Structure 1
Amino acid sequence: MSDPDAAEAVGTRTYRAALWSFRVACLVGLAWIWTALVVAPSGLVLLLIWLAGAAASVTTIVLLRRSGPPFALMPVSAILTDPVSMREFYRDVFRWRRR
Protein backbone atom coordinates (compact mmCIF):
# COMPACT_ATOMS: atom_id res chain seq x y z
CA MET A 1 0.00 0.00 0.00
CA SER A 2 1.23 3.44 -0.77
CA ASP A 3 0.09 5.19 2.42
CA PRO A 4 2.09 4.20 5.55
CA ASP A 5 -1.01 4.44 7.75
CA ALA A 6 -2.90 2.19 5.37
CA ALA A 7 -0.07 -0.35 5.41
CA GLU A 8 -0.21 -0.42 9.22
CA ALA A 9 -3.98 -0.88 9.13
CA VAL A 10 -3.68 -4.27 7.42
CA GLY A 11 -2.40 -5.93 10.57
CA THR A 12 -5.10 -4.59 12.88
CA ARG A 13 -7.96 -6.60 14.33
CA THR A 14 -10.44 -4.11 12.92
CA TYR A 15 -9.18 -4.66 9.37
CA ARG A 16 -9.37 -8.45 9.75
CA ALA A 17 -12.90 -8.11 11.15
CA ALA A 18 -13.83 -5.97 8.12
CA LEU A 19 -12.53 -8.73 5.83
CA TRP A 20 -14.71 -11.33 7.55
CA SER A 21 -17.69 -9.01 7.56
CA PHE A 22 -17.27 -8.46 3.82
CA ARG A 23 -17.05 -12.22 3.26
CA VAL A 24 -20.27 -12.73 5.23
CA ALA A 25 -21.98 -9.97 3.23
CA CYS A 26 -20.97 -11.67 -0.02
CA LEU A 27 -22.26 -15.03 1.17
CA VAL A 28 -25.56 -13.50 2.29
CA GLY A 29 -25.85 -11.82 -1.12
CA LEU A 30 -25.33 -15.15 -2.86
CA ALA A 31 -27.88 -16.77 -0.54
CA TRP A 32 -30.37 -14.01 -1.40
CA ILE A 33 -29.89 -14.56 -5.14
CA TRP A 34 -30.16 -18.34 -4.79
CA THR A 35 -33.24 -18.05 -2.60
CA ALA A 36 -34.92 -15.64 -5.00
CA LEU A 37 -34.20 -17.70 -8.12
CA VAL A 38 -34.40 -21.30 -6.93
CA VAL A 39 -36.63 -21.42 -3.87
CA ALA A 40 -38.99 -18.52 -4.74
CA PRO A 41 -40.18 -17.89 -1.16
CA SER A 42 -42.50 -15.23 0.17
CA GLY A 43 -41.43 -11.60 0.27
CA LEU A 44 -40.80 -11.71 4.03
CA VAL A 45 -38.02 -14.30 3.68
CA LEU A 46 -36.31 -12.26 0.98
CA LEU A 47 -36.64 -9.13 3.10
CA LEU A 48 -35.05 -10.83 6.11
CA ILE A 49 -32.12 -12.12 4.03
CA TRP A 50 -31.71 -8.67 2.49
CA LEU A 51 -31.68 -7.07 5.96
CA ALA A 52 -28.97 -9.50 7.10
CA GLY A 53 -26.88 -8.55 4.05
CA ALA A 54 -27.44 -4.85 4.68
CA ALA A 55 -26.34 -5.22 8.29
CA ALA A 56 -23.17 -7.06 7.21
CA SER A 57 -22.45 -4.38 4.58
CA VAL A 58 -22.86 -1.52 7.04
CA THR A 59 -20.64 -3.36 9.52
CA THR A 60 -17.96 -3.72 6.83
CA ILE A 61 -18.08 0.00 6.05
CA VAL A 62 -17.83 0.99 9.71
CA LEU A 63 -14.96 -1.40 10.37
CA LEU A 64 -13.05 -0.22 7.31
CA ARG A 65 -13.48 3.39 8.39
CA ARG A 66 -12.13 2.55 11.85
CA SER A 67 -9.20 0.47 10.59
CA GLY A 68 -7.47 3.34 8.82
CA PRO A 69 -7.15 2.90 5.02
CA PRO A 70 -8.13 5.98 2.99
CA PHE A 71 -11.87 5.64 2.57
CA ALA A 72 -14.65 7.73 1.01
CA LEU A 73 -18.42 7.54 1.23
CA MET A 74 -19.97 8.13 -2.16
CA PRO A 75 -23.67 8.84 -2.82
CA VAL A 76 -24.36 5.26 -3.92
CA SER A 77 -21.46 3.30 -2.46
CA ALA A 78 -18.46 3.39 -0.20
CA ILE A 79 -15.00 2.84 -1.68
CA LEU A 80 -11.37 2.81 -0.71
CA THR A 81 -9.88 5.90 -2.36
CA ASP A 82 -6.41 4.52 -3.01
CA PRO A 83 -6.42 1.99 -5.90
CA VAL A 84 -3.57 0.08 -4.30
CA SER A 85 -5.51 -0.16 -1.02
CA MET A 86 -8.55 -1.43 -2.88
CA ARG A 87 -6.53 -4.07 -4.72
CA GLU A 88 -4.93 -5.17 -1.44
CA PHE A 89 -8.32 -5.37 0.28
CA TYR A 90 -9.82 -7.59 -2.41
CA ARG A 91 -6.68 -9.74 -2.44
CA ASP A 92 -7.00 -10.15 1.34
CA VAL A 93 -10.71 -10.97 1.05
CA PHE A 94 -10.16 -13.86 -1.30
CA ARG A 95 -6.92 -15.08 0.27
CA TRP A 96 -7.77 -16.91 3.46
CA ARG A 97 -4.29 -17.01 4.97
CA ARG A 98 -3.07 -14.11 7.06
CA ARG A 99 -0.13 -12.07 5.76
Structure 2
Amino acid sequence: VGRFLPEKYKPAYYDSTVSFLHPVTGLFPHANSAELFIWLGVAQGFSKAGGEQSQLALMFLLTGLIVILMRGFITEKISMHLFKKEGLTHILNDDK
Protein backbone atom coordinates (compact mmCIF):
# COMPACT_ATOMS: atom_id res chain seq x y z
CA VAL A 1 0.00 0.00 0.00
CA GLY A 2 2.87 2.36 0.77
CA ARG A 3 4.10 2.32 -2.80
CA PHE A 4 1.25 4.64 -3.80
CA LEU A 5 2.16 7.30 -1.23
CA PRO A 6 4.20 10.36 -2.13
CA GLU A 7 7.87 9.93 -1.19
CA LYS A 8 7.68 12.51 1.58
CA TYR A 9 5.24 10.35 3.58
CA LYS A 10 6.96 6.98 3.14
CA PRO A 11 9.36 7.17 6.13
CA ALA A 12 6.50 7.82 8.59
CA TYR A 13 4.32 5.17 6.93
CA TYR A 14 7.06 2.57 7.17
CA ASP A 15 7.81 3.44 10.80
CA SER A 16 4.14 3.12 11.75
CA THR A 17 3.59 -0.06 9.77
CA VAL A 18 6.57 -1.87 11.24
CA SER A 19 5.68 -0.72 14.75
CA PHE A 20 2.15 -2.13 14.44
CA LEU A 21 3.41 -5.70 14.85
CA HIS A 22 4.00 -5.19 18.56
CA PRO A 23 0.63 -4.14 20.03
CA VAL A 24 -1.42 -6.79 18.22
CA THR A 25 0.45 -9.64 19.93
CA GLY A 26 -2.07 -9.73 22.78
CA LEU A 27 -5.05 -10.18 20.48
CA PHE A 28 -3.35 -12.14 17.69
CA PRO A 29 -0.35 -14.05 19.11
CA HIS A 30 0.55 -15.50 15.72
CA ALA A 31 1.18 -11.99 14.30
CA ASN A 32 4.55 -11.70 16.01
CA SER A 33 5.60 -15.07 17.33
CA ALA A 34 8.97 -13.77 18.52
CA GLU A 35 7.23 -11.78 21.25
CA LEU A 36 4.82 -14.53 22.23
CA PHE A 37 6.90 -15.79 25.16
CA ILE A 38 7.26 -12.28 26.54
CA TRP A 39 3.52 -11.67 26.15
CA LEU A 40 2.65 -14.95 27.86
CA GLY A 41 4.95 -14.16 30.79
CA VAL A 42 3.50 -10.68 31.28
CA ALA A 43 -0.06 -12.00 30.90
CA GLN A 44 0.57 -14.73 33.48
CA GLY A 45 1.90 -12.18 35.98
CA PHE A 46 -1.03 -9.87 35.26
CA SER A 47 -3.47 -12.76 35.86
CA LYS A 48 -1.78 -13.65 39.16
CA ALA A 49 -2.16 -10.03 40.24
CA GLY A 50 -5.91 -10.28 39.67
CA GLY A 51 -6.27 -8.85 36.17
CA GLU A 52 -7.88 -10.36 33.11
CA GLN A 53 -5.81 -11.17 30.04
CA SER A 54 -8.41 -9.69 27.69
CA GLN A 55 -8.22 -6.38 29.56
CA LEU A 56 -4.43 -6.45 29.34
CA ALA A 57 -4.59 -7.17 25.60
CA LEU A 58 -6.92 -4.24 24.97
CA MET A 59 -4.81 -1.86 27.08
CA PHE A 60 -1.70 -3.06 25.24
CA LEU A 61 -3.39 -2.49 21.88
CA LEU A 62 -4.70 0.99 22.72
CA THR A 63 -1.41 2.10 24.21
CA GLY A 64 0.44 0.75 21.19
CA LEU A 65 -1.85 2.56 18.74
CA ILE A 66 -1.35 5.86 20.55
CA VAL A 67 2.43 5.41 20.56
CA ILE A 68 2.39 4.44 16.86
CA LEU A 69 0.40 7.55 16.02
CA MET A 70 2.86 9.72 17.91
CA ARG A 71 5.82 7.97 16.23
CA GLY A 72 4.29 8.54 12.81
CA PHE A 73 3.84 12.26 13.42
CA ILE A 74 7.31 12.65 14.88
CA THR A 75 8.94 10.68 12.05
CA GLU A 76 7.07 12.79 9.51
CA LYS A 77 8.25 16.04 11.11
CA ILE A 78 11.85 14.79 11.29
CA SER A 79 11.71 13.62 7.67
CA MET A 80 10.37 16.96 6.45
CA HIS A 81 13.09 18.77 8.38
CA LEU A 82 15.82 16.57 6.93
CA PHE A 83 14.43 16.87 3.38
CA LYS A 84 14.52 20.66 3.70
CA LYS A 85 17.97 20.64 5.30
CA GLU A 86 19.42 18.45 2.53
CA GLY A 87 17.77 20.54 -0.18
CA LEU A 88 15.56 17.73 -1.42
CA THR A 89 12.76 20.05 -2.50
CA HIS A 90 11.77 17.74 -5.35
CA ILE A 91 10.57 15.24 -2.74
CA LEU A 92 8.63 17.87 -0.81
CA ASN A 93 6.94 19.21 -3.95
CA ASP A 94 6.09 15.79 -5.40
CA ASP A 95 2.34 15.35 -4.95
CA LYS A 96 1.72 12.25 -7.04
- TM-score (structure 2 length as normaliser): 0.40
Looking at CA atoms only, which structure, 1 or 2, has the larger radius of gyration? 2
For CA contacts below 8 A with separation 6 or more, give which structure has more relative contact order: 2
In proportion to residue count, which structure has more strand? 1
More helix by share: 2
